[in-house]
């Protein structure tokens, strides 16, 4: 099977490359290989490539920057997705596209189901919602949240750097969701792909957390394994005390029972995967 992975150098892209079945003929590309803002070039790439499957792990993920460059974010997060879908429609291939909890407004009192109405409150969320629409009815769309992995650019590694330098950190405590370890997300994407799934599914690690909870766990687990060697006080603050250009959903927990029922599995609690990631981070030095 001939497979194209976009966003190959990102957190998820690297995990997909590492876990791709040996019998797949994989071509992995990143922004240096193909300009995703050039829809014609993207469509031509897919049409001429004869891919059976495209795993789209590429995205404009700079949430705050998207507020001032929404056109660029739209071109990457939606325009490129439409181009991939059009190319695959010509060849009969399938599209697997990764989306986000940011398509929701955060006002729900329960975990968001795949069929819940979207109402994005940021430019990033709007462009990702448009990307879902552009993927087409035959695509597999998997929404996720709070993605991290060893060696990547993410909240965990940011916190580790700050904890190595500062005695006190203030972290938002009233935004609720669930962290997602990139290798676990990759495994779900590959399993859903192999089952030929289409439509919208959700994947995060098990459990619930605020950013404050996540930061406390990073500190505690990091101290336990000797990755952190100093005392740090972590202070919970409201999001209003840490204003950002883009609004974030206050509650973006994703309900993933349909995913788990189809695959017959249950992901580990987010703290279990965090321990694994921190051990890997320690090994990386």
Q: What is the DSSP letter of 240?
A: G
Residue % of the chain over a pLDDT of 70: 100
Gyration radius of the chain over CA positions:
19
Phi, psi at 116, each rounded to 5°: -70, 150
Q: pLDDT-based confidence at 95, cuts 50/70/90?
A: very high
Mean pLDDT over each residue of the chain, to the nearest integer: 97
What does the pLDDT read at residue 77? 98
In the predicted model, is pLDDT for residue 285 greater than 90? Answer: no
Ranges of each domain in the chain = 2-147+178-206+252-268
What does the pLDDT read at residue 246? 98
Overall average pLDDT of the 18-38 stretch? 96
In the predicted model, is pLDDT for residue 29 greater than 90? Answer: yes
In the predicted model, is pLDDT for residue 55 greater than 90? Answer: yes
Kind of pairing between the strands at 209-210 and 176-177: antiparallel
**With contact defined as beta carbons under 8 Å apart, do 30 and 13 qualify?**
yes
Q: Which residues are catalytic?
A: 124
In the predicted model, is pLDDT for residue 175 greater than 90? Answer: yes
Overall average pLDDT of the 270-275 stretch? 98
CATH class of 2-147+178-206+252-268: alpha beta
Burial of 48: CB neighbours in 10 Å, binned 0-12, 13-18, 19+: exposed
Overall average pLDDT of the 67-93 stretch? 97
Residue 259 makes CB contacts below 8 A (sequence gap 6+) with 142, 188, 192, 201, 202, 203
H or E stretch covering 82: helix 80-91
In the predicted model, is pLDDT for residue 180 greater than 90? Answer: yes
Overall average pLDDT of the 249-257 stretch? 98
Phi, psi at 2, each rounded to 5°: -95, 125
What does the pLDDT read at residue 15? 98
**Per-residue pLDDT reduced to its tens digit, 181-240:** 999 999 999 999 999 999 999 999 999 999 999 999 999 999 999 999 999 999 999 999
Overall average pLDDT of the 56-85 stretch? 98
Q: Indicate the pTM of the whole model.
A: 0.96
What does the pLDDT read at residue 248? 97
Overall average pLDDT of the 80-98 stretch? 97
**Per-residue pLDDT reduced to its tens digit, 14-25:** 999 999 999 999
E-state strands within 132-279: 140-144, 147-148, 168-172, 176-177, 180-181, 199-202, 209-210, 233-237
């Amino acid at each position: 099977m001939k497979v194209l992975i976009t966003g190959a150098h990102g957190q998820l892209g690297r995990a997909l490359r590492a876990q791709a079945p040996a019998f797949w003929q994989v071509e992995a590309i990143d922004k240096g290989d193909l300009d995703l803002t050039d829809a014609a070039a993207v469509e031509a790439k897919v049409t001429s490539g004869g891919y059976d499957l495209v795993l789209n792990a590429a995205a404009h993920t700079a949430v705050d920057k998207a507020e001032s460059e929404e056109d660029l974010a739209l071109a990457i997060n939606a325009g490129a997705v439409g181009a991939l879908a059009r190319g695959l429609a010509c060849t009969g291939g399938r599209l697997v596209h990764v989306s986000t909890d940011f398509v929701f407004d955060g006002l729900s009192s329960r975990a968001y189901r795949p069929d819940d109405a979207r109402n994005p409150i940021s430019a990033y969320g709007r462009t990702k919602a448009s990307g879902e629409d552009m993927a087409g009815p035959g695509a597999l769309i998997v929404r996720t949240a709070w993605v991290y992995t060893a060696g990547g650019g993410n909240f965990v590694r940011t916190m580790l750097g700050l904890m190595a330098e500062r005695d006190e950190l203030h972290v938002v405590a009233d935004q609720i969701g669930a962290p997602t370890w990139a290798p676990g997300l990759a495994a779900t994407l590959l399993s859903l792909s192999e089952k030929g799934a289409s439509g919208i599914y959700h994947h995060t690690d098990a459990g619930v957390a605020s950013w404050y909870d996540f930061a406390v766990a990073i500190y505690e687990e990091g101290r336990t394994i000797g990755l952190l060697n100093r005392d740090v006080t972590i202070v919970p603050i409201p999001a209003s005390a840490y204003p950002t250009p883009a609004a974030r959903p206050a509650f973006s927990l994703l309900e993933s029972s349909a995913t788990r029922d189809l695959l017959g599995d249950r992901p580990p609690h987010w703290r279990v995967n965090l321990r694994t990631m921190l051990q890997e981070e320690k090994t990386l030095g």
